[in-house]
Amino acid sequence: MRFELMYDSFFKIIQGIPLTLEVVFLSTIFGLFLAVGVALMRVSNNKIFSNFAYYFIYTIRGTPLLLQLFFIYYGLAQFTFIRESFLWFFLEDPLFCGILTLTLSTAAYSAEIIRGGMQSVAPGYIEAGSSMGMSKMLRLRKIILPITIRQALPAYGNELILMVKATSLISIVTLMEITGIARTIISKTYAPVEIFIVAGSIYLLINFIITRFIKYTEYRLNHGSIQ
Amino acid sequence: MMELLAFGDTGWGDELLLSMVMTILVSTSSLAFGLVIGTIFASFKLSNSYILKAIAEFYTTVVRGVPELLVIYLLFFGGSGAVMYVAKIFGHMGYIELSPFTIGTIAVGAISGAYSTEVIRGAILAVPKGQFEAARTLGMAKYAMSFKVIFPQVARLALPGIGNVWQVTLKDTALISVTGLVEIMRQSKIAAGSTHEPFIFYTVAIILYLFITSISYQFFNRAETKFSKGFVREVS
């Protein structure tokens, strides 16, 4: 065990934390909004909407994330009309492609979690809302979403941890986040075990904090609930 | 576009098909390896020894909390070194290099093993207590009890969970492409690079993965119905 190397590489690897957190934060926020939309489409009575949501979820969940990233980053760049359009400004940037891929991915997985939460809302609650004259949007905002959030939170916590782990893939498209820096140091020093311990501990710490945060939120939300 | 995907020397059809076989092979061997690890660590978790419990807890926490890619880098760069270190103890000097397939199987197997551990642990706990007691009452030895009574039931109860682990394992094998193993991901990257047609080849790769996931989904569904025959009443 080369402790001096571990000490030195620790300070190099922590420089990747901001990028990892930035990508996690942005794609989680965008992904969550998209997921609510996809989940609503999935449960809607409109066949076109629900089919579109079904196939979107099916494709994302059935293919590796790395392939999705390559498809967006390299695949779309093939077309001249994309390269000449304003889209190219975004698609030539690996960071944008990384965030876009992770956003789409988490949207598909979270949509299923949210759908599960929505379907657990007792029909009586919704009926009670409509008999009080609440509009569809008001019912969604005041009845369905609050209950859904409480139901879906534990599963969503797992999704957040998967997101933190998934950000490591953007290192393959040249972005230097935690895994990217770790990989560079490993190939220079040839000390895989030491670097793994350092980088792995950082990920474990991030995930530990997220787990605690979710537990705390769960506790707060369930405060005073009958269940 | 059809020439690109043709079989033979002119197109990439046969290469892609072979790479699909490779993906299925490496996923299957990883899942099998993961199930062996999972069974061992699940029994650790359910044992009375605090040390064994701690070891199993450490393993599942680390592997499930650290990116898959990092685990693959660890084994890709450190796997051969570790094997040579062990070989040295047994008196074997000289260079040993592990093939990308072996490294991939060990890496993805170790990852899928952590998920399998939880699935199998849950399944063992779901076997009714009476089954253990009945086996003991009949005077079965521990070994016979495990293999004749408990194991078949665990296999049935764990099947849905193993189906999920399979899907995750299959997708994780795409990451082994960084070690140079020519599976779907790697093959489509090579083809995309040499023909400058990334869109077509990544689309084909997406279709191939969707094909495997759909088929295996059907397979696990069938297996579940088959193995749960006569167990419908127990659900409530």
pLDDT digits (tens, 9 = 90+) for B34-52: 999 999 999 999 999 999 9
CB contact under 8 Å between A199 and B78, yes or no, is no
Interchain CB contacts (distance < 8 Å): A and B: 119
CB contact under 8 Å between A208 and B65, yes or no, is yes
CB contact under 8 Å between A66 and B177, yes or no, is yes
Which of A 38-67 lie inside 8 A of B, CB atoms?
58-59, 61-67
Asked if B67 is an interface residue toward chain A (Cβ–Cβ < 8 A), one would say yes
Burial A161-196 (b: 16+ CB within 10 A, else e): bbbbbbbbbbbbbebbbbbbbbbbbbeeeebbbbbb
pLDDT range class, residue B230, cuts 50, 70, 90: confident
In single-letter form, the type of residue at position B163 comes to: G
Residues from chain B that touch A66, judged by Cβ atoms under 8 A, are 174-175, 177, 185
Q: Half-sphere exposure of B26 toward its Cβ, with a 13 Å CA cutoff? A: 29
CB contact under 8 Å between A190 and B77, yes or no, is yes
pLDDT at A226: 54
Backbone dihedral angles phi then psi of residue A176, each to the nearest 5 degrees? -95, 75
Tens digits of pLDDT across chain A (227 residues) = 788 999 999 999 999 999 999 999 999 999 999 999 999 999 999 999 999 999 999 999 999 999 999 999 999 888 888 888 888 888 889 999 999 999 999 999 999 999 999 988 889 999 999 999 999 889 988 898 888 988 899 899 999 999 999 999 999 998 999 999 999 999 898 889 999 999 999 999 999 999 999 999 988 887 766 55
The alpha-carbon gap from A92 to the nearest alpha carbon of chain B, in Å, equals: 15
Q: Comparing B88 with A33, which gets the higher pLDDT?
A: A33
Question: Which residue of A74, A167, A172 is in closest CB contact with B178?
Answer: A172
Are residues B163 and B222 in contact, defined by beta-carbon separation less than 8 angstroms?
no
pLDDT at B235: 45
pLDDT range class, residue B232, cuts 50, 70, 90: low
CB contact under 8 Å between A200 and B68, yes or no, is no
Tens of pLDDT, residues B90-119? 887 777 788 889 999 999 999 999 999 999
Instruction: Indicate whether B3 pLDDT > 80.
Output: no
Q: How many Å apart are CA B166 and CA B220, to the nearest integer?
A: 10
Are residues A79 and B199 in contact, defined by beta-carbon separation less than 8 angstroms?
yes
